[in-house]
Amino acid sequence: MWNRLWAYILSREGALYALSLAVIGLLSYLFFTSVLLAWLTRQGAEYVLPSLVGRSLTAVERSLEAAGFSAVVIDSQYVPDQKPYTILLQDPPAGTRVKKGRKIYLTVASSTPPMVPFPRVQDLPYEEAYRLLRETYGFRVGSVEYAAGREPDVVLAAKHKGQTIKPGILVPKYSIIDLVVSRGWSDQKVPFISVVGLPLEEAVARLHAVGLNVGQIRYKPNPNIPLGQVYRQYPERMPADSVPAGMSIDLVVNSQPTSPTSE
């Protein structure tokens, strides 16, 4: 059998048949590699991806769609002073050659900052409070107001938009926080007075009248004391006849005050 096959190949008819098969095979290979393979792999439809960072999401979506791509937002982050819905990150990065029809993944700027619980900064040294607010919690420290206090350069209170903030209150991250810082006691001396037995509003007025401040006001029920009356103060007495101006006096009041009183 092999002899007959070999003889046929060596004949004129067999040689023409073998040559035809070779030509058909070569043409098929060229067609597959130059036309069919290019179509299957979409060669020639590649696109050099430009930088999308800093552009608006709406404009990016339109330009990608026109170029044959689709934009997919996978994440959002709040960045201070960054216009909302601008592109922060892209995947694939700029300069990558991509084929049309591919999805481009985007991270955009959020319009709402995250809410974080405010830390306790009262009684902390100013420098420590400053680092805690900025480096740990991401706040920005605004104005610093100085007031009389027991120790200099100690934070007395923190404010956000003019309102005193208590620890644990949720505040937008990156907010501006104003601080009230102690400058220490004044050299000026004022009389020390007792306000025990007075209604809270009158006690506060008398302390302010002589140049003293009201410190912490605590409300504790006492059935033997009229409602809203001060029945204890700290300090209760001072050894000298006068104390530094601006010194704070803590008060204990029976139950809740009958009307709002500012410290």
Domain regions of the chain by residue span? 2-41, 46-109, 115-183, 189-253
* Residue 178 pLDDT exceeds 90: yes
Helices 12-31, 2-10: axis angle to 10 degrees equals 80
Whole-number Å distance between alpha carbons of 24 and 254? 106
Paired tokens of 11? 């004949």
* Sequence-ordered strand ranges (E) for the chain: 46-48, 70-77, 87-91, 97-99, 103-109, 115-117, 140-147, 152-160, 163-164, 170-172, 176-183, 189-191, 213-219, 230-234, 242-244, 248-253
Q: Residue 235: is the preceding peptide bond cis (ω within 30°)?
A: yes
The residue whose two tokens read 């991270």 is: 107
Higher-pLDDT residue of 148, 70: 70
Domain topology for 189-253: Trypsin Inhibitor V; Chain A (3.30.10)
pLDDT tier, 130 (very low <50, low <70, confident <90, very high otherwise): very high
What mean pLDDT is reported for the chain?
82
* Residue 49 pLDDT exceeds 80: yes
Q: In this prediction, what percent of the chain has a pLDDT beyond 70?
A: 78
CA distances from 73 to 43, 106, 190 (A): 27, 5, 65
pLDDT tens by residue, 242-255 = 788 778 889 999 97
* Residue 211 pLDDT exceeds 60: yes
Whole-number Å distance between alpha carbons of 175 and 258? 34
pLDDT at residue number 23: 66
pLDDT tier, 81 (very low <50, low <70, confident <90, very high otherwise): confident
Whole-number Å distance between alpha carbons of 223 and 203? 20
pLDDT at residue number 2: 56
Architecture of domain 115-183: 2-Layer Sandwich (3.30)
pLDDT at residue number 47: 81
Q: Worst-scoring range by mean pLDDT, 14-23, 197-206, 227-236? A: 14-23
Contact 148, 185 (CB under 8 A): yes
* Residue 44 pLDDT exceeds 70: no
H helices of 123-257, in order, are 126-131, 200-210
* Residue 196 pLDDT exceeds 90: yes
* Residue 162 pLDDT exceeds 60: yes
**Average pLDDT of 146-154?**
78
pLDDT at residue number 231: 93
Q: Worst-scoring range by mean pLDDT, 6-15, 29-38, 253-262? A: 29-38
Architecture of domain 46-109: 2-Layer Sandwich (3.30)
Question: Are both 46-109 and 189-253 of the same fold?
Answer: yes
Whole-number Å distance between alpha carbons of 213 and 195? 12
Give the single-character DSSP code of 199.
B
**Average pLDDT of 185-203?**
87
pLDDT at residue number 258: 45
* Residue 257 pLDDT exceeds 60: no
* Residue 107 pLDDT exceeds 60: yes
